[in-house]
């Protein structure tokens, strides 16, 4: 049953050099055409039987959804409510860049129904922002956060750390400033050099060297120490929140609940079927004209595939996964979900912990998440 809706707006004013998301720079967008397309795509999801329970969350991601006219955002929210109905305390999040132009729309976006905003601040250092290819400055970001706090009941913002040459003292100061602002949620990401990005090309050409693994790991540990002391402990690898301020939408993904995804490149999962939309905006619009929805692929997932995915995303959470609950859900013995010998080994090394039926990574294990996932999840699940 779909309890969450993701809406993808694919357009940005520029492409950040670290970004591998489905974002595109275009001279303009036909808003009427996009409104019709997104509404048609949404209605298709409802017709597929995904409108049987109220929505708990909506997330506008991108791209840069704060470039959407507030009237379009409001129309999509209204249509979602008519198709699904809303839970009493629905969370409606919109990602935004902290430019003064976009911040000027915050009041209108709040009136349209958005009650949570996630700001792509990335740094409070102008030199770092220039390196990261951001179009805003540090003072502009501070003003945007203040404007967001006046208009939305919940505010989160992103920062990128482990940048080349960044010291523990630098990051301590920047993170301390971020925490002093008083938002209930922070997303703190280590800079990762993703393939097919400009940064990947820059590294190959020797323009800069990424921060080495050891100092990056030290910054990860420092991040957890500082945020925990400030009352925003990590509840996921890169996400920190005061209790009760976690992103309910993202928890839908990590707890492997169903969600609908509409718009170019959006992924979804409903009733054991994984959906993927056409990525390129022009191809998405053509699909809407041709078939009244943007789905490029809808694939039934086997129970073993679902169990493997649930483990891979669930172990990102500080709470970990309930192996007995997964066993019942997917009709697979708990002993076949994970490798008991590997669990014993990594528990002895202090990298995983077991609490009743729950399996989770420790703070020491989280920096090694990708490697540990390959070790802990049973081989027959991964290869199925």
Question: Model confidence over 18-76: pLDDT tens digits?
Answer: 999 989 999 889 999 999 999 999 999 998 865 578 999 999 999 999 999 999 999 99
Domain 303-382 is found in CATH 1.10.10.920: yes
Round to whole Å and give the CA distance between 19 and 74: 28
Q: Report the DSSP beta bridge partners of residue 239.
A: 187
Q: What is the pLDDT of residue 378?
A: 76
More confident residue, 198 or 101: 198
pLDDT at 1 over 80: no
**Mean pLDDT, range 5-22, rounded to an integer:** 94
Window from 91-105, 135-149, 160-174 with minimum mean pLDDT: 91-105
Q: What is the pLDDT of residue 3?
A: 86
380 confidence band (pLDDT: 50, 70, 90): low
Q: Is 233 helix (H, G, I), strand (E, B) or coil?
A: coil
Closest-CA residue to 262 (of 89, 77, 24): 77
Q: Find the angle CA(75)-CA(149)-CA(123) to the nearest 5 degrees.
A: 100
Residue 75, CA distances (Å) to 44, 46, 111, 198 in order: 16, 16, 12, 36
Q: Which residues, including other chains, have CB under 8 Å from residue 335's CB and lie 6 or more apart?
A: none
DSSP assignments along 273-304, one per residue: EEEEE-SSHHHHHHHHHHHSS-EEEEEEPPHH
Residue 338 is encoded by which pair of tokens?
A: 């994970």
Q: What is the pLDDT of residue 28?
A: 85
379 confidence band (pLDDT: 50, 70, 90): low
pTM: 0.95
Q: What is the pLDDT of residue 383?
A: 54
Q: Report the DSSP beta bridge partners of residue 26.
A: none
Round to whole Å and give the CA distance between 285 and 209: 40
Question: Model confidence over 113-133: pLDDT tens digits?
Answer: 999 999 999 999 999 999 999
Q: What is the pLDDT of residue 156?
A: 98
Round to whole Å and give the CA distance between 52 and 199: 44
> What is the average pLDDT score of the chain?
94
Q: Percentage of residues in the chain with pLDDT exceeding 90?
A: 91
Count of other CB atoms within 10 angstroms of residue 101? 12
Q: What is the pLDDT of residue 225?
A: 97
Q: Find the angle CA(7)-CA(186)-CA(176) to the nearest 5 degrees.
A: 155
Domain ranges of the chain: 2-253, 303-382
Domain 2-253 is found in CATH 3.30.1490.20: no
Residue 259, CA distances (Å) to 5, 46, 55, 79 in order: 6, 11, 9, 16
Q: What is the pLDDT of residue 141?
A: 96
More confident residue, 27 or 163: 163
Q: What is the pLDDT of residue 205?
A: 97
Round to whole Å and give the CA distance between 145 and 24: 25
Question: Model confidence over 274-328: pLDDT tens digits?
Answer: 999 999 999 999 999 999 999 999 999 999 999 999 999 999 999 999 999 999 9
């Amino acid at each position: 049953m779909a309890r969450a809706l993701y809406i993808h707006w694919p357009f940005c004013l520029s492409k950040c050099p670290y970004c591998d998301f489905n974002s595109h720079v275009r001279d303009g967008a036909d808003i009427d055409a996009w409104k019709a397309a997104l509404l048609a795509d949404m209605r298709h999801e409802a017709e597929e039987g995904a409108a049987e329970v109220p929505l708990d969350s909506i997330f506008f991601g991108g791209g840069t959804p704060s470039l959407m006219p507030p009237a379009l955002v409001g129309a999509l929210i209204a249509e979602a409510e008519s198709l699904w109905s809303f839970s009493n305390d629905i969370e409606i999040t919109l990602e935004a860049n902290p430019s003064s132009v976009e911040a000027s729309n915050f009041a209108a976006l709040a009136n349209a129904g958005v009650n949570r905003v996630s700001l792509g601040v990335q740094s409070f250092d102008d030199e770092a922002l220039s390196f990261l290819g951001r179009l805003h400055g540090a003072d502009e970001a501070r003003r945007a956060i203040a404007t967001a706090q006046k208009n939305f009941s919940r505010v989160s913002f992103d920062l990128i750390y482990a940048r080349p040459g960044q010291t523990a003292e630098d990051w301590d100061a920047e993170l301390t400033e971020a925490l002093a602002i008083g938002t209930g949620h922070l997303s703190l990401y280590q800079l990762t050099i993703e393939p097919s990005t400009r940064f990947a090309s820059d590294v190959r050409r020797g323009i800069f060297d990424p921060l080495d693994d050891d100092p990056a790991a030290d910054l990860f540990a420092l991040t957890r120490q500082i945020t925990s002391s400030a009352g925003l402990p990590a509840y996921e690898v890169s996400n920190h929140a005061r209790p009760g301020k976690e992103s309910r939408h993202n928890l839908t993904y990590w707890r492997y609940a169903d969600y609908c995804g509409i718009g170019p490149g959006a992924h979804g999962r409903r009733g054991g079927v994984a959906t993927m939309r056409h990525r390129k905006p022009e191809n998405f619009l053509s699909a809407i004209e041709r078939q009244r929805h943007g789905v490029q692929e809808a694939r039934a997932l086997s129970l073993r595939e679902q169990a493997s995915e649930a483990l891979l995303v669930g172990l990102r959470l500080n709470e970990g996964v309930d192996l007995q609950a997964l066993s019942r859900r997917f009709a697979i013995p708990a002993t076949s979900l994970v490798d008991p010998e590997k669990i014993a080994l990594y528990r002895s090394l202090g990298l995983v912990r077991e609490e009743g039926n729950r399996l989770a990574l420790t703070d020491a294990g989280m920096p090694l998440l990708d490697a540990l996932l390959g070790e802990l999840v049973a081989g027959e699940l991964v290869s199925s």
